[in-house]
Amino acid sequence: MIKRPLKIGLTGGIGSGKTTISHIFQSLGIEVFNSDQYGKKAIEENKTVIKKIHQEFGEDIITNGHINKKNLSKIVFQDITKLRKLNNIIHPIVIQDFNKWYSKKTNHYIIKESALLFESKTFHNLDAIILIKAPVELRINRVYQRDNRSRSEILSIIKNQLKTKDIKEHTDYIINNNEKTLLTPKVIQLHKQLMNL
Ligand code: ATP
């Protein structure tokens, strides 16, 4: 028997539009677990996570007893080995948070939004995966306008993320979030499909 709610993963590279699309799903009444936000919360509040990050990355990333996320981000996005180490510290906590969150849900399906569905290996536990695609230049421009990040910083993040072509074969649905077509009708159409699963 299929276990409800269905777990639908939503992923895509930086600036592809995951959060924007999650908001559209939310406006349709679908609950969204934002993995990246839970990851940030773990860095800010979870004492075990803070201790492990401190041990792994040293004094440079601590400011007034807290993790300095900007410094940490600079380190990990220049070094994929360090990025993996950081993710290995954070992922188990986010998995626990998701399981707790999911256990209280009763809808037809829920969305698990994550930039790292594949890197965290959590895609195995999902019923279907949506990939958000957008041209790389458009993603860079969108992030450049949204964040206080330089173009080279955005490029190094993109370089360290999995490529769309490598993820594609594991995905069930693709949303093209380009400038040429309206986004909301595509999400509504996909929502209808998911409600019929
Ligand atoms: P990240 O991986 O950094 O969390 P993301 O994939 O969640 O990024 P969003 O934050 O949803 O991406 O989108 C990046 C920026 O582009 C945001 O400022 C958002 O408002 C804008 N944006 C996304 N999609 C569109 C669109 N279809 N039209 C106009 N602006 C868009």
SS (H, E, C) 12-42: CCCCCCHHHHHHHHHHCCCCEEEHHHHHHHH
Is the link from the previous residue into 5 a cis peptide, with omega within 30 of 0?
A: yes
Structural Rg of the chain based on CA atoms: 17
Is the CB of 115 within 6 Å of ligand 1?
yes
pLDDT, tens digit, for every residue of 93-116?
999 999 999 999 999 999 999 998
pLDDT, tens digit, for every residue of 122-165?
888 999 999 999 999 999 999 999 998 899 989 988 988 888 88
DSSP E strands in 106-184: the ranges are 109-113, 128-133, 173-176
Asked if residues 183 and 20 have their Cβ atoms less than 8 Å apart, the reply is yes
Distance (Å, whole) CA 76 – CA 67: 13
Distance (Å, whole) CA 48 – CA 33: 22
Asked if residues 115 and 16 have their Cβ atoms less than 8 Å apart, the reply is no
Q: Which of 10, 19, 178 to mutate to test the pocket of ligand 1 (most atoms within 8 A of CB)?
A: 19
User: What distance in angstroms lies between residue 20's CA and the mean position of ligand 1's atoms?
Assistant: 6
pLDDT, tens digit, for every residue of 32-73?
999 999 999 999 999 999 999 999 999 989 988 899 998 998
pTM of model > 0.75: yes
pLDDT at 3 over 80: no
